[in-house]
Amino acid sequence: MRTDKNLFNDVPLKGVQEECGVFGIYKNDDFDIIGEVYNGLYALQHRGQESAGIAVNNNGDIKCVKNPGMVSEALTDKLLKTLPDGKIAIGHVRYYPLDARDVAGIQPLVMRYIKGSLAIAHNGAITNIAEIHHELEQGGAIFQSNSNAELIAYVIASKRLVTDSIEEAVLSAMDMIKGAYSLVISSPSKLIGARDQYGFRPLAIGKMNNSWMISSESCAFDSLGAEFVRDVEPGEVVVIDDEGLHSYKKHCGGKTSLCAFEHVYIARPDSIIDGVSVHKFRMNAGKALAKEHPVEADLVCGVPDSGIVSAIGYSRESGIPFGLAIIKNKYIGRTIARQQQSFNKRLVEIKINVLKASVQGKRVIIIDDSIVRGTTCAHIVKLLKEAGAKEVHMRIASPPFLNPCYYGTDIKSTDNLIARQFSAEELCQKIGADSLGYLSLEGLNNLAPCSNVGFCTACFTGEYPTEIPTQVYEDKFSKKIQK
Ligand code: SF4
């Protein structure tokens, strides 16, 4: 057992960080396309706070603005006024990992090649990126960034030279590119959406009067007053042009694996993904937790934001009253986050506070969506006890997070995965809780019986739906040697 005193220091504040949100519009009505893409990105802000950008296609000429920061910081009025009107526009918000802070990789990316201009925005992670990079570089390709989007754009552009249309080029690129990708692309005259064959990341189609939209999540359509038409199917390519929407299903029909964490933590509760309401999924998770890990208590509360709905579900199933106890400051900007990078415990303190009057003298059940590195849960238990809670029972609305993710979150190694170091009992002791219970894998798998797709649960089980990058095999090998 690890006994490192600094166990909960110097690790990132949040658990799973999602890397991107994408949005696109094909305009057939009279409205401000840039303003509406901005609003769409604003609704997707939870998927990435590190950069934002918009590319507008004005008769094949694509102009792009992008910057580090949240949507309101990165895309100022002054900057947006430099963009022309256009028929097609795409946008992107991004969280990118600390070791790859690469301004050249901020999206959308705009490429100019022999067939015209191409703008691309990507959510996910390509698992064979090293192999494709190597192959293309051997052929003389030069890349400005190490971004997946640039690689995908390059592959599509090269396929376009030997195919008759952009849709054929995208379908052909999908034969080559492995892993997780939900894309919006603007060609000179078309808006394209593409989702990898497993459907790791969501992608949805919306309509506002005669205009079409493609978004990472359906919540963005609601905020624009648009109608949610349907999801892009795993493996599907949709192309929108003057004649409407065309669908290509060459890569559809195989095993599907939507990231279970989209429902657990990443997506907004007002989104519907592949036929399942995120809100309902979290509510069911709370109910299942109450059945699997009952305990006598006076109050159930949740860690904002994603733990709140599960706490309501736990309360409904158990009959124990629900109440607010944890208050989160949602407005931690990049400046504070950067200043506090090496003092993450302090950052947790800035971000989270406890309503003392709610918990004083009470036996409290606190629900969180997941425990990845353990930073936040340790601090929350401490805060609740300091506020006078008599007992603190921690319940987690997902199974122990044991394995890295290669499909678009920032958990790329086993480093600091707390569930690998401690059993539930050990971790409970370590964080000072009175009991700790995770939702079982079986419980998780039963939460969405109406889902149109299967779920990826690889971070819990180690059973990856695809081949994984080569370094994982090396990692496993070194683990064997250590034993
Ligand atoms: S490994 Fe986990 S976080 Fe990654 S895609 Fe699968 S379920 Fe999601």
Question: Which residue's CA is minimally distant from atom 2 of ligand 1?
Answer: 459
Q: Going by C-beta distance under 8 Å and a sequence separation of 6 or more, which residues neighbour residue 313?
A: 282, 283, 284, 285, 286, 287, 288, 289, 290
* Ligand 1 center–CA 461 separation, angstroms: 10
* Ligand 1 center–CA 259 separation, angstroms: 5
Q: What is the domain partition of the chain in residue ranges?
A: 20-256, 277-452
Regions in the chain scoring below 70 on pLDDT: 1-19, 96-102, 330-349, 470-483
Hey, which of 14, 18, 261, 445 would you mutate to test ligand 1's pocket, going by the most ligand atoms within 8 Å of its Cβ?
261
Q: Residue 74 has which token pair?
A: 């990165």
- CATH 3.40.50.2020: does it fit domain 277-452? yes
Nearest-atom number in ligand 1 for the CA of 260 is 7
* pLDDT value, residue 147: 84
* pLDDT value, residue 257: 98
Hey, which of 459, 461, 466 would you mutate to test ligand 1's pocket, going by the most ligand atoms within 8 Å of its Cβ?
459
Nearest-atom number in ligand 1 for the CA of 262 is 8
How far apart, in Å, are the Cα atoms of 80 and each of 73, 83, 87, 91, 273? 12, 6, 16, 12, 31
Tell me if 391 sits within 8 A of 363, measured CB to CB.
yes
* Ligand 1 center–CA 455 separation, angstroms: 9
Nearest-atom number in ligand 1 for the CA of 180 is 5
* pLDDT value, residue 336: 46
Hey, which of 409, 451, 455 would you mutate to test ligand 1's pocket, going by the most ligand atoms within 8 Å of its Cβ?
409
* Ligand 1 center–CA 411 separation, angstroms: 9
Question: Which residue's CA is minimally distant from atom 4 of ligand 1?
Answer: 405
* pLDDT value, residue 4: 31
The CATH number of 20-256 is: 3.60.20.10
Q: What gap in Å lies between CA 178 and CA 38, rounded to an integer?
A: 30
Nearest-atom number in ligand 1 for the CA of 455 is 7
Which residues have any ligand 1 atom within 6 Å of their CB? 16, 200, 259-261, 405, 407, 409, 456-459
Q: What gap in Å lies between CA 180 and CA 121, rounded to an integer?
A: 13
Question: Which residue's CA is minimally distant from atom 8 of ligand 1?
Answer: 259
Hey, which of 306, 407, 466, 468 would you mutate to test ligand 1's pocket, going by the most ligand atoms within 8 Å of its Cβ?
407
* Ligand 1 center–CA 108 separation, angstroms: 24
* pLDDT value, residue 351: 76
405 belongs to the catalytic site: no
- Classify each residue of 22-46 as buried b or exposed e, where b means 16 or more C-beta atoms within 10 Å of its C-beta: bbbbbbeeeeebbebbbbbbbbbeb
Question: Which residue's CA is minimally distant from atom 5 of ligand 1?
Answer: 259
* Ligand 1 center–CA 202 separation, angstroms: 13
Nearest-atom number in ligand 1 for the CA of 259 is 8
Give the residue from 325, 264, 323, 260 showing the smallest Cα distance to 289. 264
